């Protein structure tokens, strides 16, 4: 399987060293299995950082990665990043290795046994409006113009359904 020339320079040397099949399967993982662009970017950054860390540990190929290498990377990240960021990096590494196991490039997933940091969210960051605050907000919108009616409908829908602005704007009327 030949890898498109545009992707070859973007893959870490750790993956390229494992051969063209590993490079193709890795590109397939990022382009075919991760549909959200933001997630793809974050996972690519995490895998790139992991590959760089492995190279500093003397690992030359993705097929030589052991659970110890993944664990050392995660422990290093815990000192540098927040728990959710570390958990996301571990998820990216696990998913990539799962894909490589399914593709029969490696026998087992070295990241499967590695534990990530604990992170429990007891209270979200987004404040919730009380019914009185929601009523006051909606009543404060001038409905004398089409823009005001639009804004009131949009904000009302978001307040009563807890929808995000992206979901509300993407709705088909």
Spatial separation of the C-alpha atoms in residues 23 and 25, rounded to whole Å: 6
pLDDT tens, per residue, the chain with 173 residues: 454 444 445 788 888 888 889 988 998 898 888 888 899 999 999 999 999 999 999 999 999 999 999 999 999 999 999 999 999 999 999 999 999 999 999 999 999 999 988 877 777 666 778 889 888 988 999 999 999 998 898 888 888 887 777 887 787 76
Run of H or E including 114: none
HSE-CB at 22 with a 13 A cutoff on CA atoms is 17
Q: Which two tokens stand for residue 39?
A: 């997630």
Site of tokens 């500093």: 56
Residue 166 is predicted with a pLDDT of 81
Global pTM reads 0.67
């Amino acid at each position: 399987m030949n890898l498109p020339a545009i992707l070859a320079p973007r893959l870490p040397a750790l993956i390229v060293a494992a051969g063209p099949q590993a490079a193709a399967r890795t590109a397939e993982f990022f382009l075919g299995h991760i549909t959200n662009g933001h997630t793809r970017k974050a996972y690519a950054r995490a895998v790139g950082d992991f590959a760089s860390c492995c190279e500093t540990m003397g690992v030359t190929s993705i097929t030589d990665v052991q659970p110890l290498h993944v664990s050392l990377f995660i422990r290093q990240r815990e000192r540098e990043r927040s728990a959710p960021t570390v958990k996301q990096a571990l998820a990216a590494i696990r998913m990539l290795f799962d894909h490589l196991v399914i593709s029969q490039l490696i026998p087992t997933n070295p990241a499967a046994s590695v534990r990530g940091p604990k992170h429990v969210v007891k209270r979200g960051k987004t404040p919730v409006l009380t019914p009185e605050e929601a009523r006051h907000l909606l009543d404060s919108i001038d409905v004398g113009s089409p823009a005001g009616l639009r804004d009131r409908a949009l904000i009302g829908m978001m307040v009563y359904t807890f929808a995000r602005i992206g979901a509300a704007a993407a709705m088909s009327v």
